[in-house]
Amino acid sequence: MNRATLITVVAAAAAVLASMTLPSYYASLAVYAVVLSMLGVSVNISSGYLGLMSFGHAAFFGLGAYAAGLLAVRWGVNFWLAVALASLPAAALGAVVGVASLRVSGHYFAIATLVVSEILRLLSLNWISLTRGPLGVVVPRPRIAYFESFGLIFAQYHLMICIVVLALLIEIMRRLVASPYGRAWMALRDKQELAESVGIAPLSHKVGAIALSGGIAGLAGALLVPRILVLSPDLFGTNFSATGLLAVIVGGKGTLLGPVFGGVLFAAAPELLRSIDAYRIAVFALILLLVVRIRPGGLASLLPRGSAGEARNAAIPPSKPVVQAASLAISSISKSFGGLKAIDDVSFSVLRGRILGLIGPNGAGKTTCLSLVSGFLTPSQGSIDIGPRKLTGLSAPRVAEEGVVRTFQHTTLCPMLTVFENVLIGTHLLSPETAWSAVLQTKAYLEREKVRASWAQACLEKVGLAGRHQSEAGALPYGEQRLLSIAVALAARPDFLLLDEPAAGLSGTEAVSLVRLLRQLRDDGVTIILIDHNLRMMMEICDELVVIHHGKMLAQGDPVSVRNDPAVIEAYLGQRRAGEAHAAA
Amino acid sequence: MFDLVLQQLANGISTGMIYALIALGLTVVFGVMHVINFAHGELYMVGALCSVMLTSRLGIPYILTVPIAAIAGALIAIVTDRIAISPVLPRKDGHALVLITTFAASMLINETVVASAGPGPIPSPGIGGWVLSLGPVALSAQRLLVIGVGLLLVIFLQLMLMRTKFGRSLRAVAQSAWAAEVVGVDVRKIAFLTLALSGLLAGLAGALVVPIVTFSAAMGSHAIINAFVIVVIGSMGSFVGAVVCGVALGVAESIASIAMSSDASSAIIYSLLLVALLLRPQGLFARSAR
């Protein structure tokens, strides 16, 4: 058992012991605090780690409460078993809302959650035969004789159960956040294109996370039932949605314990401020507004920031399997945007272990070409293949799985994460992972994490940033950010590396070390497609050049023949100079 | 039965006109600023409140309260911008934070109204009891006013977008704020004016509808969800989509009320949003090419 797990266990045990001494009123209040913390943990997954604001987590919360209550009252299921089952419909609802709203943009998630909670509120209000509408369903207190035989009162052992569940949830979250899943969530939140380029599929990760979030909210709702004992449509109301969001924002979104601070605060606040109870929502709204305006990091940002993810120098050299992949062949691809043909019938192929340069004037379609190959755009016509394997029509993450990884013209990194964390994101595809092994931290999983960490460190060393692994990525000087982007792409262990203007804005010495790095990579067996405007460098480093002009392919060949091609000279230097060049030749 | 359907169709067009006005404001603000203003429904509620208060407390003739309510809507929109949108939007994750701040602003406005004016209902006299009869269909003067003003506004807005300098600038910002800035459009000013315009429309819609539905503090939250359904089905940012889907939703809701309770029809209409997102997330009126 590691130290962090031990801390959780000790803290939970202490809280359980303390709850035995609490009088009923305080124990019941503490139950509310713990339930709100769980709701906060749930909202934190969507609003904190995924950056998707939710205004309707009461939908999941209320659904969990109704599911547990109705199972117990109408179908005679043991209430505590019903609590465990109650998270299932809530998780399923989360998946549905996620699938429905996340294909477009994050805004739609906020709308969809709000609307779903309103639908469920109307449903619970009007489906009288099931829910008794506004009267509500009365749930008998689910006493447990075993606990009472020790002289515990109901509120006390209810609190103990809640504390154990919360501790479990926090421990699960801690492990997930530190796993490839958590890294994928944060990468998708901060820079979705970067995540996709290293093989993180956006929709499935987000939908999975929202389902988890829904399930936790459902569990929280179900655990509230023994305290309120009446299921009423208010469970779906704005009050709980807002409180959950508030607990996260005030506590500190995207932090492990922030939602717990927030949950405790907002359970206690109404008791302390009895006199203003009528204005509770207004006060909450005001706090929400002020915190976002003044201290968006929440309470957790007042605490010192722990050193996240230290580089482990475990010397396990990741063995790269020797893939006898064929060359990458691009066959007469075209891409039009409306009436504009950005790429028009371009074909070329790259042999393994070579550097192919893609050159052409600004706006020629070089980046479009790269986006087509890497799956960020789908060609209107033509095909892209690696030997027998078709890349055409695959999404960017699937293309990355096939070993083709790109970088971006504009520096694309997660600026708030450390250099090391950024590179770790790139290791997503290194070995497949399941959520179970990450939560249970199986021996094999820990071993794989070690391999990922040491591979990330090796990638940083390759680009010469090993000494910077703890710096915030956004704080690096520009040239080092460019190098870091390459390290992130390398971490995905590409067979084909597509670099979009890696030398742009580099100083002379940085450019020289970049050239050395690219040669080294080629010698290691990485095939490189390179876009850059620095023609001297391109001539020097590329084994082959492809010239694109107005979306069409102008020339292909070794640097010397391309340099002397009259059509290329004309495209670059204009008509008159081309004539001169001819005259000179 | 058929007569009843015709009657509800006519009624539906008038409430649909109101929905269209609300949705237009929401969609234009999204088009220009890429912000979803969760407080937008409350602007409509404030417009309605303003109208009923002025008629019932101060005895001002209803028709005069309509422009005042529109201005009140615009003012609240500007205040919302100042406290919840402009200061937050330029931040790093501004577009996510602005959802929270406008959501908080909507709760604040709503709670302030509940605390001061009460949750309602408060009736409003409207423009009087005159009724137009077309065969089996009877339309009150108030509903005719709603339809007339609504139509005029839609035509006026369309002309303004196409013909005036402000309209051209607005469309330019909607297409690309960056490019518009480069050619000398004051993007911040256009955003500000667009938001004020959305408040104007919402306040006006509130004053127009209040004699038909009577005032309640909860009318804003109902309206914003309807507006979300409209703009999602009609494509976020689309002018035509907001008008067509707004009227269609009004008609659908009105005809559904023959057969079911308003809660049930609301629940069904809200569910349409999920269905639309699942089947055609970009909406019916999305431009095919970027």
Residue A440's pLDDT band, with cuts at 50, 70 and 90, is confident
CB B46 within 8 Å of CB B72: yes
Residue A1's pLDDT band, with cuts at 50, 70 and 90, is low
- Put simply, the answer to whether A285 touches B38 (Cβ < 8 Å) is no
Q: Distance (Å) from the C-alpha of residue A299 to the closest C-alpha of chain B?
A: 17
Quick one: three-class SS letters along chain B?
CHHHHHHHHHHHHHHHHHHHHHHHHHHHHHHHHCCCCCCHHHHHHHHHHHHHHHHHHHCCCHHHHHHHHHHHHHHHHHHHHHHHHCCCCCCCCHHHHHHHHHHHHHHHHHHHHHHHHCCCCECCCCCCCCEEEECCEEEEHHHHHHHHHHHHHHHHHHHHHHHCHHHHHHHHHHHCHHHHHHCCCCHHHHHHHHHHHHHHHHHHHHHHHHHHHCECCCHHHHHHHHHHHHHHHCCCCCHHHHHHHHHHHHHHHHHHHHHCCHHHHHHHHHHHHHHHHHHCCCCCCCCCCC
Tokens of A88: 């299932």
- Put simply, the answer to whether A123 touches B267 (Cβ < 8 Å) is yes
pLDDT of residue A578: 47
Strand duo A389-390 + A381-386: pairing = antiparallel
**What kind and span of H or E run contains A395?**
none
- Can you tell me the mean pLDDT for A214-241? 91
Residue A325's pLDDT band, with cuts at 50, 70 and 90, is low
CA distances from A419 to A157, A174, A427, A451, B226 (A): 46, 21, 13, 17, 45
- Put simply, the answer to whether B277 touches A112 (Cβ < 8 Å) is yes
- Residues of chain A positioned with their CB less than 8 A from the CB of B113: none
Task: Compute the distance between CA of residue A528 and CA of residue A521 in angstroms, rounded to an integer.
Answer: 8
Assess whether pLDDT exceeds 70 at residue A79.
yes
Task: Compute the distance between CA of residue B280 and CA of residue A104 in angstroms, rounded to an integer.
Answer: 10
Amino acid at B214: T
pLDDT of residue A571: 76
Strand duo A328-337 + A230-231: pairing = unpaired
CB A93 within 8 Å of CB A59: yes
Task: Give the residue among A33, A236, A36, A35 at the shortest CA–CA distance from A133.
Answer: A236
Mean of the per-residue pLDDT values of chain A = 85
Task: Give the residue among A34, A53, A79, A72 at the shortest CA–CA distance from A216.
Answer: A34
Q: Where are the domains of chain B?
A: 2-289
Task: Give the residue among A288, A213, A221, A208 at the shortest CA–CA distance from A47.
Answer: A213
Could you report the per-residue pLDDT of A341-397, keeping only the tens digit for each? 888 888 888 888 889 998 888 888 888 888 998 889 988 888 888 888 888 888 999
Tell me what percent of the residues of chain A surpass a pLDDT of 90. 22
- Can you tell me the mean pLDDT for A267-277? 76
Whole-prediction pTM: 0.88
Cα-Cα end-to-end distance for chain B = 47
Interchain contact B87–A (C-beta under 8 A): yes
- Put simply, the answer to whether A289 touches B105 (Cβ < 8 Å) is yes
Task: Give the residue among A556, A527, A531, A526 at the shortest CA–CA distance from A544.
Answer: A556
Interchain contact A338–B (C-beta under 8 A): yes
pLDDT of residue A92: 95
Q: Distance (Å) from the C-alpha of residue B235 to the closest C-alpha of chain A?
A: 11
Chain B residue at shortest CA distance from A253: B97
Task: Compute the distance between CA of residue A481 and CA of residue A522 in angstroms, rounded to an integer.
Answer: 22
Q: Which residues 89-118 on chain A approach chain B with CB closer than 8 angstroms?
A: 96-97, 99-101, 103-104, 106-108, 110-112, 114-116, 118
pLDDT of residue B40: 93
Phi and psi at residue A545, to the nearest 5°: -125, 145
Interchain contact B228–A (C-beta under 8 A): yes
- Put simply, the answer to whether A108 touches B232 (Cβ < 8 Å) is yes
Residue tagged 């704080």 (tokens):
A475
Assess whether pLDDT exceeds 90 at residue A297.
no
- Can you tell me the mean pLDDT for A205-214? 94
- Residues of chain B positioned with their CB less than 8 A from the CB of A55: 38, 99, 103
Task: Compute the distance between CA of residue A295 and CA of residue A310 in angstroms, rounded to an integer.
Answer: 27
Name the residue among B30, B83, B267 with its Cβ closest to that of A122.
B267
pLDDT of residue A301: 76
CB A83 within 8 Å of CB A72: no
Interchain contact B175–A (C-beta under 8 A): no
pLDDT of residue A164: 93
Residues B234, A213, A125: CA angle, nearest 5 degrees: 65
Enter the ipTM. Answer: 0.87
- Can you tell me the mean pLDDT for A110-122? 90
- Can you tell me the mean pLDDT for A63-69? 94
Residue A308's pLDDT band, with cuts at 50, 70 and 90, is very low
CB A330 within 8 Å of CB A347: yes
- Put simply, the answer to whether B270 touches A115 (Cβ < 8 Å) is yes
CB A360 within 8 Å of CB A549: yes
Quick one: three-class SS letters along A146-194?
HHHCCCCCHHHHHHHHHHHHHHHHHHHHHHHHCCHHHHHHHHHHHCHHH
CB atoms within 10 A of CB A354: 14
What is the sign of the dihedral through the CA atoms of B175, B177, B178 and B182? positive
Instruction: For residue A319, give the DSSP letter.
Output: P
Residue A387, strand partner residues = none
Task: Compute the distance between CA of residue A142 and CA of residue A72 in angstroms, rounded to an integer.
Answer: 9
Task: Compute the distance between CA of residue A511 and CA of residue A144 in angstroms, rounded to an integer.
Answer: 71
- Put simply, the answer to whether B107 touches A284 (Cβ < 8 Å) is yes
CB A504 within 8 Å of CB A482: yes
Residue tagged 């609301």 (tokens):
B266
Identify the residue among B103, B232, B280 best suited for mutation to test binding to A, counting A beta carbons within 10 A and taking the highest.
B103
CA distances from A448 to A316, A401, B142 (A): 10, 18, 71
Tokens of A459: 């990638």
- Put simply, the answer to whether A296 touches B111 (Cβ < 8 Å) is no
Residue A323's pLDDT band, with cuts at 50, 70 and 90, is low
- Put simply, the answer to whether A119 touches B229 (Cβ < 8 Å) is no
- Can you tell me the mean pLDDT for A438-466? 87
Assess whether pLDDT exceeds 90 at residue A331.
no
Could you report the per-residue pLDDT of B126-159, keeping only the tens digit for each? 777 777 777 777 888 888 888 989 999 999 998 9
* A320 three-state secondary structure: coil
Task: Compute the distance between CA of residue A198 and CA of residue A491 in angstroms, rounded to an integer.
Answer: 8
CA dihedral A164, A165, A169, A172 (to 10 degrees): 70
- Residues of chain A positioned with their CB less than 8 A from the CB of B93: 51
Ranges of residues in chain B with a pLDDT under 70 are 287-290
- Put simply, the answer to whether A292 touches B115 (Cβ < 8 Å) is no
Task: Give the residue among A503, A469, A504 at the shortest CA–CA distance from A488.
Answer: A469
Q: Distance (Å) from the C-alpha of residue A100 to the closest C-alpha of chain B?
A: 5
Q: Distance (Å) from the C-alpha of residue A115 to the closest C-alpha of chain B?
A: 6
CB B44 within 8 Å of CB B226: no
Fold classification of B2-289 is ABC transporter involved in vitamin B12 uptake, BtuC (1.10.3470)
Residue A315's pLDDT band, with cuts at 50, 70 and 90, is very low
Task: Compute the distance between CA of residue B25 and CA of residue B154 in angstroms, rounded to an integer.
Answer: 11
CA distances from A420 to A43, A190, A231, A240, A467 (A): 27, 15, 48, 38, 10
For B73, what's the count of Cα atoms within 13 Å in the CB-facing half-sphere?
34
Query: H helices of A76-153, where?
Result: 79-102, 106-126, 128-131, 145-148
